[in-house]
Amino acid sequence: MAGRVVYFNGRFVPEAEARVSIFDSALMYGDMAFEMTRTYGHRPFRLREHLDRLYGSLRLLEIDCGLSIEAMERVTLETLERNLATEPADMDWQIMHDVSRGPLELYRTAFPGGIGPTVSINCWPLVTHMGRFAPNYRSGVHLMIPAQQAVPAHLVDPKAKTRSRLHYQLANLQAGRAGAGRWPVLLDPDGFLAEGPGWNIFLVRDGVLVTPEPRNILLGVSRNATMEYARGLGIPVREANATRRCGPTRSSARPRPTRSCMPRRSRGNASATADRDRCFAACSRRGRPPPASTSSPRPRATPRAWMNGSAGRRPRPRAREPGATSVPPSGRIGSDGAS
């Protein structure tokens, strides 16, 4: 069976031949945009939304990748198609777009054929990321708040998905030092919950699904989908500033029976609030999309004053719900935001 191929600057080449120059601006500055789209049953999940975000990132970076978004979509589907036969039919895929400015002008003489943007699309079997992650759906994940902060929008626009990710990597390292299997949730410089290194975060509080307001975070495709699905189910959704007091709590909660792409938290080291709180990480590479559910809507509830950091009285902690577990996951597979 032939091996996987990569779309690389207009050609399909074997994976091993898809190489980026040491003079590429991506290597010099982290100056590139990327996207990761997963498939469900070989169908890319919200590919067009991912590509819209990719082209938004490219606009910010002032990179012209030389392909229209329609052409990028076509060539993405072709790349997937060309790789499907390399794995069993039930394999799902991670589709990665990487676009950089290309080699720096300074090194032009090393490229007699000329320089231009480096555009690649690769497909990788998703089981590599998802396989060991699966137990987290039951056990939850152990969240922690690292010293490393999110980069605020007034410094670098976080809505662009770029490889300039050192702050995420430092957060991962700090989480790793705090204990095996910890997932870091970064605060923004104002002390509000922002996001993880590769995922957005949701809290459930009194029947309201709350997620950090979009200022200092990447607008995840799964975040959009999650809010859409929730609204479709009649669950109130609120984008708000949430402080660490509202975030990951010490105690655990039994997960809602959901088949969405969100592992729940099992533990966290932020100051405790109410153990009714539930906290989810949303990332499109994980889990299954929610079913087109007909289940009855959850009852509406009034959001409490804890939003916008103005929480006054803290709700009294309740005993842990039966069946709740606090077993941390064995690893942070696929949580690092780089893959």
Ligand X SMILES: Cc1ncc(COP(=O)(O)O)c(C=O)c1O
Residue number, 197 or 328, with CB nearest to ligand X: 197
Position among 222, 249, 258, 335 found at the interface with ligand X (CB under 6 A): 222
Stretch that binds ligand X, among 101-109, 248-256, 277-285, 309-317 (CB under 6 A): 277-285
Position among 200, 243, 258, 266 found at the interface with ligand X (CB under 6 A): 200
Position among 146, 198, 255, 268 found at the interface with ligand X (CB under 6 A): 198
- In this structure, the dihedral spanned by the alpha carbons of residues 249, 251, 254 and 258, taken in order and rounded to 10 degrees, is 20
Q: By CB under 6 A, what part of segment 153-192 binds ligand X?
A: none
Give long-range contacts, CB 8 A cutoff, 24+ apart: 310-314: 311/243, 311/245, 311/246, 311/273, 314/245, 314/273, 314/274
- Told to check if 199 binds ligand X by CB under 6 A, we report yes
Position among 221, 246, 274, 333 found at the interface with ligand X (CB under 6 A): 221
Stretch that binds ligand X, among 82-90, 241-249, 276-284, 301-309 (CB under 6 A): 276-284
- Told to check if 97 binds ligand X by CB under 6 A, we report no
Q: Minimum distance between the CB of residue 150 and ligand X, rounded to whole angstroms? A: 8
Instruction: Show Cβ contacts of residue 306 under 8 Å, excluding neighbours closer than 6 positions.
Output: 205, 242, 243, 245, 246, 273
Q: Minimum distance between the CB of residue 80 and ligand X, rounded to whole angstroms? A: 17
- Told to check if 39 binds ligand X by CB under 6 A, we report no
- Told to check if 223 binds ligand X by CB under 6 A, we report yes
Q: Minimum distance between the CB of residue 11 and ligand X, rounded to whole angstroms? A: 27
> Residue with CB nearest ligand X?
220
Q: Minimum distance between the CB of residue 159 and ligand X, rounded to whole angstroms? A: 10
Residue number, 103 or 263, with CB nearest to ligand X: 263
Position among 162, 284, 304, 336 found at the interface with ligand X (CB under 6 A): 284
Nearest-angstrom CA–CA distance, 139 and 324: 8
Q: Minimum distance between the CB of residue 331 and ligand X, rounded to whole angstroms? A: 18
Q: Do residues 262 and 233 make contact, with C-beta atoms less than 8 angstroms apart? A: no
- Told to check if 44 binds ligand X by CB under 6 A, we report no
Task: Measure Cα distances from 195 to 19, 148, 214 in Å.
Answer: 31, 12, 10
- Told to check if 117 binds ligand X by CB under 6 A, we report no
- Told to check if 83 binds ligand X by CB under 6 A, we report no
Q: Minimum distance between the CB of residue 215 and ligand X, rounded to whole angstroms? A: 13
Stretch that binds ligand X, among 122-130, 217-225, 232-240, 328-336 (CB under 6 A): 217-225
* Dihedral of alpha carbons 213, 300, 248, 126, sign: negative
Instruction: Show Cβ contacts of residue 298 under 8 Å, excluding neighbours closer than 6 positions.
Output: 207, 233, 234, 235
Nearest-angstrom CA–CA distance, 12 and 6: 5
Residue number, 193 or 221, with CB nearest to ligand X: 221
Position among 143, 208, 283, 307 found at the interface with ligand X (CB under 6 A): 283
Give long-range contacts, CB 8 A cutoff, 24+ apart: 79-86: 79/5, 79/6, 79/7, 79/12, 79/121, 79/122, 79/123, 80/39, 80/42, 80/44, 80/123, 82/5, 82/12, 83/4, 83/5, 83/123, 84/42, 85/1, 85/2, 86/1, 86/2, 86/3, 86/4
Instruction: Count the alpha carbons within 13 Å of 5 in the hemisphere toward its beta carbon.
Output: 20
Residues found near ligand X in the complex (CB under 6 A): 36, 195, 197-200, 218, 220-223, 282-284, 337
